[in-house]
Amino acid sequence: MRMVRLTDEGEAGAAAVAAGAGAAGAPAAGTTAAPRDEVDDLIAAWRQQRPDLDVAPLQVLSRVSRLARHLDIARRGAFAAHGLESWEFDVLSALRRAGPPFQLTPGALLRATLVTSGTMTNRIDRLASAGLVYREPDPSDRRGVLVTLSERGRSVVDAALTDLLDRERALLAALSDDQRLLLADLLRTLLVPFDAADQ
Tell me the three state secondary structure of residue 102: coil
> 25: left (phi > 0), else alpha (psi -120 to 50), else beta?
left
Read off the pTM: 0.75
Q: In what order do the strands lie in the sheet with 103-104?
A: 103-104, 141-149, 133-138
pLDDT tens digits, one per residue of 28-78: 455 567 789 999 999 999 999 999 999 999 999 999 999 999 999 999 999
Q: What is the DSSP string of 25-53?
A: SPPPTT--PPPP-HHHHHHHHHHHH-TTS
Residue 1 predicted with pLDDT over 60: no
Q: Is the peptide bond before 101 cis (omega within 30 degrees of 0)?
A: yes
CA distances from 53 to 13, 57, 108, 138, 197 (A): 19, 11, 45, 58, 29
**Which whole number is the average pLDDT over 13-23?**
37
Q: Which of 100, 97, 80, 77 is nearest to 88 (CA)?
A: 80
Rounded Cα distance, 198 and 45, in Å: 36
Question: Which of these, 94, 54, 82, 87, lies nearest to 167 by C-alpha position?
Answer: 82
User: Looking at the predicted structure, is the pLDDT value of residue 23 above 60?
Assistant: no
pLDDT in tens, 88-120: 999 999 999 999 999 999 999 998 888 888 999
Element at 124 (helix H, strand E): helix 117-129
Taking the alpha carbons of 157, 163, 165, 168 in that order, is the dihedral positive or negative? negative
Nearest-angstrom CA–CA distance, 132 and 127: 5
Is residue 83 classed as helix, strand or coil in its secondary structure? coil
